[in-house]
A and B are shown apart, each in its own frame.
Chain A
Amino acid sequence: MRPLSRTTIVVLTLALVAPALFIRPAPAAEDVKIALVAPLSGRWARQGQLKKMGAEMAIEEINSQGGIKALGGAKIVLREGDAGDSVEKAVSAAQRLLTREKISAGIGSWLSSFTLGVTEVAERLQVPWLSLSYADSITERGFKYTFQTSPVSSLQAEQALELVTDVARRNNRPIKKAAIVGDNTAATVFFFKPLREKLLAAKGIELVVDEVWTPPLADATAIVQKLRTTQPDIMFYGGTNFPDSIQVLQKIKEFSVKTPIQGVGAWLVTPEYVKTVGKELLDNIQTVVAAHPLKGQEDLVKKFVQRTGEPFMTQDPLCTYAHVWLIKEAIEQAKSADPKAIRDALAKIDLSSGPATSAFYPARVKFDERGRRVGAAPLIVQWQGGEPFTVVPAAVATRPLAWHK
């Protein structure tokens, strides 16, 4: 057989390669790496684990539905960093993750002080970072790479008070006297400050009890005694530390104080509360959160419960689930796994449907120039029969609000 001429070889080769040159080739489906920096050990390990569960669920969904289409079906992989129980560790973990590998985007780190430190790293290394932390300061530093999906503390206080007084009025139980009871951790302080300084007075509400402690709380008796004698119409409650919180609630039970409790944060809706203080007392408690399963998310919650064995889904897994989806959408729009491109996509993104918006209320994801989600508003979650349900706003509530007797 005659050997192929050189020309033939060139032509054949060109014929084979040409499609690759003319048709834009599907990019090699290289994995897209997302970082999750959360406390996986130490005091807040439970919250970190919950976040991880949410992230893993989202990644499994995305990958099983064909990965990121714009990148030829690239799969998402999660890289976890343990934030431990100090800012130093959290920042170390972020720096390690972001410099060891090409990370497209990051999520974390639960505690606002961790988030403040971690986002510094992300900003310097130009990796977009999504956070559910509430602190106003996170998006007050002029950072370009930080995106905050929760309503910030100062707004939460204002909006929560609005929601609560409105509901109270409609139920003919107007609020005239209020109590503030809580520890002095950052999240609580920033929530209470505006209430105390202007918001309550503006609504004509008298502040009859103002009790703040530095954890750990030695004895709750005096605080609860005051509640009993002053009989406030509502108690704003910020006992972020579980043992302290249990102490206060048990005393309230012991003294049969009937004041409705309005918590300030998602720490009050963990399954552990059911075991420790019982369903009856919890029925008197509602709390403001940044995210909780809404009407229409029953399937998502069911799937999560089946996957993890958790009794219900709360803010931490829900937000992280949505954050992963949001990153996925941003990559689709950027058509690139490059962190800078993803950042630009996030800055421009405007979504109002799909899993990426599922955790948020209202269900729209658009960020302002500071990186805050436009229109972000808190929800009120109420314990009913040992399970927390979204009750306010009514449009997205999974149960109607039960006004306390």
Chain B
Amino acid sequence: MASRTRGWLAIAAVVATGLLLTFAVQERYHHRVLTLVFLWAAMGLAWNIISGYAGQISFGHQVFFGIGAYVTVLLVVKAGLTPWVGMVVAVGVAVLAAVLIGIPTFRLAGIYFGLATLAYPLIFRIVMDWLGYQEVAIPMKREQPGWFMQFNEPRSFDLLALGVLAATLALSRVIETSRLGYRLRAIRENEQAAEAMGVDGFRCKMAAYMLSAAPAAVVGAVYIHAILFIVTPEAVFGLLVISQTLVVSLVGGAGTLWGPLIGAALMVPVSEILDTTVGDRLPGIQGVVYGAALMLIMLYAPEGLYWRVRQAVRSRAGRGGEAARSVIVAPPADDAVASAPTQTVLLQARGVSKAFIGLQALSDVSFDVREREILGVIGPNGAGKTTLFNVLNGFLIPDRGEVRFLGQPVTGLRPSALCRRGVGRTFQVARTFPHLTVLENVMVGAFARDAAVSRARVAAMAALARMGLADRAEAFPGGLTTLELRLMELARCLATAPRLVLLDEPLAGLSADGIDVMIAMIRRVRAGGVTVVIIEHTMQALLRLADRLIVLDQGRRLAEGAPGQVTQDPGVIEAYLGKRWLARLAAR
């Protein structure tokens, strides 16, 4: 709660400083620089929503800037509509464009998304040229300058730009502290893990894209009226717009609302100062100096100034203050009661087959998972265990066969949809959201059940406490041990309130003590009424834990039954140890 008010206070302080500067500055040119700082900060913030929070780097964000500019100006020119209303129309058009661009483009991941976004402003440039809008001047309205955003007083533009900045800051702040913000950051950090935690990646990214298109359009509209006075395709859809946006965001630091603000407050005046001092005597040299400054920042603060400074401050504050860490010990067995498996079938796999080019990873695998049991899926390396898991929770679609959960067919559902139905999972190699704290990692899971941040925080804290990680809540995953990471993943999975959890090799890489802790925790999970399916290739530990085992070999179900029974199965022994061992065993 305290940090929440602090965030708003900081925004208020920024706006107050902006106001102060607006009224302190006298010279017209200085007003212009101030307007530019506000506008580029706002543009950087708009970009930051999709590219900073959600990590979907957009190299074509000027498309919305340009749409804002063109729509507003054309409405003034063709229909005499005031830009105040035109801007609203422009926002609508930009958001619509974001949807139309997003539908095909979000199919691409990572850098391919970024490259694809480059195309859209180019298309708009060509279309504008084709329509004959090479240079559109704003008709001067001498009678109603305010109504047509043609103030003679430069201060008015400062205030307008500051208003846009304040609104974009507020929007960023709301996103940052909402469920969407957490989900976007989770997507940025690890999209698959986010999907498994019930985050619908496509919808979240689309929401972020629409939210970032809106302020970009407003900035474009105001920029034309305050700075350029004319629109040309080059000026609004050109590379200069996106490079300036990237400069302020990356210098300041992406992924936080302070980054673009710092970047704009620094780089815009630097560029103008260089223009006025060296640029007048040696035209062009300002570009060289600016580029050099940019390179220095990229070399010494590649994540951006905000993160660099924060890191420095934190490491100074944190020195010697490392809290004594409690060692997690196995909790007392508390699962004796009410943990016997029932006969209800929770999950049903029927004839599941999956082939990867030439390799039959799964062929005709069928089995049932009963409520509240701990089912172990074992098999040697390459037996198809992880493929089976990926089919069960929607990461892969089987070639044949069907999976039913609670009697409903779930084959082909997205992992996020399955998660919301109550299937949670952990990964073979822990997939964390490294820039989120342990608590925030788990909150991403909790959001699958509750959109309210405060309640999700409570639920996440409870899940952490159950896994014995309460005192690590504020740490970052980078500082956790392997055991703690696995417990965090388990807590994150539990926070989604699943009925069934799929654990992919939860014991891999743990020490003997660690395995004890993990086994106790998994029992505790089951004691909470959750059914558990575990993949392991070390049979030893699983024999202690599982009620029932399924053995896979070369994509086929080899055996199924109680642990004692399965280990006696000749087929299983052969698969694990080879024919010669089996012969020796028989001879004994």
Contact = CB atoms under 8 A, between A and B. Distances in A.
Interface string B273-312: 0011001100110110000000000000000000000000
A88 B132 contact: no
B135 A100 contact: no
B27 A86 contact: no
Contacts of A92: 29, 32, 272, 275
Contacts of B15: none
Given A41-B287, A87-B232, A91-B229, A82 B275 contact: yes
B75 interface: no
A137 B240 contact: no
A284 interface: no
Nearest to A183: B129
Interface in A81-104: 81-82, 84, 86-89, 91-93, 95-96, 99-100
A45 B283 contact: yes
Contacts of B235: 86-88, 113
Contact of A117 (B152, B230, B284): B230
A365 to B, nearest CB: 25
B129 A214 contact: yes
B230 A41 contact: no
Contacts of A96: 29, 275-276
A112 B235 CA distance: 13
Nearest to B235: A87
A97 to B, nearest CB: 9
Contact of B140 (A45, A86, A141): A141
Contacts of A42: 284
Interface residues of A, number: 42
Interface stretch (A63-71, A184-192, A231-239, A251-259): A184-192
Nearest to B126: A214
Contacts of A124: 152
Nearest to B228: A87
Nearest to A98: B28
A91 B31 CA distance: 13
B140 A143 contact: yes
Nearest to B229: A120
Interface in B255-270: none
A189 B284 contact: no
A48 to B, nearest CB: 8
A13 B234 CA distance: 66
Counting chain A CB atoms within 10 Å of each CB, which of B227, B229, B238, B276 scores highest? B229
A80 B276 CA distance: 11
Given A45-B283, A92-B272, A99 B27 contact: yes
Contacts, number: 96
Nearest to B276: A96
Contacts of A117: 228-230
Contact of B137 (A80, A84, A137, A184): A137
B32 A95 contact: yes
A82 B280 contact: yes
A142 interface: yes
A113 B232 CA distance: 7
Interface string A180-209: 000011100110010000000000000000
Contacts of B284: 40-42, 45, 82
B228 A186 contact: no
Interface in B511-568: none
Given A45-B283, A45-B284, A135-B135, A91 B129 contact: no
Given A193-B132, A214-B126, A40 B139 contact: no
Nearest to A137: B137
B140 A185 contact: no
A113 B275 contact: no
Given A95-B29, A99-B27, A137-B137, A116 B283 contact: no
Contact of A100 (B29, B279, B286): B29
A26 B214 CA distance: 61
A45 B279 CA distance: 13
A123 interface: yes
B27 A100 contact: yes
A117 B227 CA distance: 9
A341 B327 CA distance: 86
A101 B229 CA distance: 23
B135 A112 contact: yes
Nearest to B151: A124
B381 interface: no
Interface in A118-149: 120-121, 123-125, 135, 137, 140-143
A40 B283 contact: yes
A99 B232 contact: no
A92 B286 CA distance: 14
Contacts of B32: 92, 95
Contact of B134 (A80, A95, A123, A186): A186
Nearest to A89: B275
A185 B134 contact: yes
Interface in B204-250: 227-230, 232, 234-235, 238, 240
Interface string B119-131: 0000001100110
A91 B228 contact: yes
Contacts of B152: 124
Contacts of B140: 123, 141-143
Counting chain A CB atoms within 10 Å of each CB, which of B134, B235, B240, B276 scores highest? B134
Given A42-B284, A141-B139, A143-B140, A87 B134 contact: no
A121 B238 CA distance: 23
Interface in B119-171: 125-126, 129-130, 132, 134-135, 137, 139-140, 152
The 9 residue pairs across chains A and B that have the minimum distance between CB atoms: A41-B284, A40-B283, A186-B134, A120-B229, A41-B283, A99-B28, A116-B230, A82-B283, A96-B29
24 contacts: A40-B283, A41-B283, A41-B286, A86-B234, A87-B228, A87-B235, A92-B272, A92-B275, A95-B29, A96-B29, A112-B135, A116-B137, A116-B230, A117-B228, A120-B229, A120-B230, A123-B140, A125-B28, A137-B135, A140-B137, A141-B139, A184-B130, A185-B134, A214-B125
Given A82-B279, A120-B229, 19 more contacts: A40-B284, A41-B284, A82-B284, A86-B238, A87-B230, A89-B275, A91-B227, A92-B32, A92-B272, A95-B29, A96-B29, A100-B27, A117-B230, A123-B140, A135-B135, A185-B134, A186-B135, A190-B134, A214-B126
